[in-house]
Amino acid sequence: MPTMELPIPKIEGAACFDAESCFFQSVAQKISFIDENLLKVLNSFRRQISLDIPLRKDDGTLITIKAYRVQHNNARGPYKGGFRIHQAVTLEEVQMLANLMTWKGAVVNIPYGGAKGGISIDPRTLTKTELERLVRAFTYQLGDNIGPHTDIPAPDVNTNSQTMAWVYDEYSKSHSTDALGVVTGKPIGLGGSEGREEATGRGVMYTLREIAKDLKLDLSQTKILIEGFGNVGYHAARLIHDELGGKIIGVSTSKGGIYNPKGIDVKAAHDYYAKYNSLKGFPNADFMSPREFLFADCDIMIPSALEGSIDNEVADKTKAQILIEGANGPITASANEILLDKRRVVAPGILANAGGVVVSYFEWVQNLQQFYWTHEEVNNKLERIIVDAYVKVRDLSRAKKISLRQAAYTIGLERVAQACILRGTGF
């Protein structure tokens, strides 16, 4: 990618924070109608649920598994957020992700608050029947803390449409009315929405497209590196290649990545990974460790794996001029400062990966109305929302000479704070 003067201004007063969820605090202090008391409300969690779930395994042994559901703020609408199943899940992680969901829904201006959930176990250690019993037990123990007008879970790491079908079925057993809207990301045959599976990756693609327009970039001549080859990373890579003509030069999984500066056949790589459960050995590409992959030469990097993968060392050494957060919180607070100092363009996850929650909102609306849209209608509506949100964030960034992340938080905070004040909960 040729050297150019980026139309993103030099950042004034960039600040360092301890965690992604705390970026908003310095922004809040600059919004005139947010006082100390309201800031405490915005920074607090309405409900934190900690569970010990007993699971009878297929061999008859009984184990206990920690699980969480955190509800951050519902001033603008029902709580909304996915739940993940991963051995690294902690209450602190779920708190951070619930916090992000509040601002994400506000940035794209959909009527949701923020929540998140997680079950702390490696799902690879469970059979399918054990996994189903675990998800159903999690749903049962949450009880009326979730519901179509209360808190609406969705897929996240290691959960998918089948997982959501189990949640819907288990919830329905203990409630007298059929409530399709209790969960989103369901299979199409069970009230799911067209376009939901690819939605997060499509939102990433739309964000990159708009940034490329602003920077007058030819994406066919740029080198695009995508960390993470799950739902988000794969669909982002596929759509960037197929619809934007972008050159994907590397993709990675937790086991390692493949790299070819001339380009990777994304579909072939996906088929190879599905067959071998590894990208190692994929033809015409160099295999790298997950860490080595992050230092590979590129113009654009899209981290789409777990949070915190882009640390100080990666931020200091990467040649990427543009970073699009496909994952939630993949760039650490201190790494974010390094990237800002180097005048790199960073599209924050609360904007860039909001496609998933937007189409979850579409699914919820369709469930409540019992009126369903075509794939094309869903994509058109998603594009309109993501592009509008990006333009507002970009324009504020330029007007105030602040980063895209600070601009996104400013917009999100103002909307949530105004809702709190109007409802009388901000005093």
- 64 CB burial (10 A radius; 0-12, 13-18, 19+): exposed
The catalytic residue among 10, 40, 104, 116 is 116
Between CA 47 and CA 145 the distance in angstroms is 9
Nearest to residue 179, comparing CAs of 368, 365, 360?
368
How far is Cα 340 from Cα 386, in angstroms, rounded to an integer? 23
Burial-class residue 373 by CB neighbours within 10 Å (0-12, 13-18, 19+).
Answer: middle
Instruction: For tokens 């599976």, name the residue.
Output: 197
Q: Strand, helix or coil at 276?
A: helix
Q: Which residues contact 5 (CB under 8 A, 6 or more apart)?
A: none
> Which residues are registered as beta bridge partners of 116?
70
116 tagged catalytic: yes
Measured from the Cβ of residue 262, the count of other Cβ atoms closer than 10 Å reads 9
Angle at 198 between CA 197 and CA 202, to 5 degrees: 150
CA–CA distance, 419 with 135 (Å, rounded to integer): 33
SS3 for 333-361, per residue?
A: HHHHHHHHHCCCEEECHHHHCCHHHHHHH
Q: Is the dihedral of CA 168, 172, 178, 181 positive or negative?
A: negative
Chain centre distance of CA 218? 26
Task: Classify the C-alpha dihedral 218-223-228-229 as positive or negative.
Answer: positive
Mapped onto helix, strand or coil, the DSSP state of residue 299 is coil
Active site residues: 116
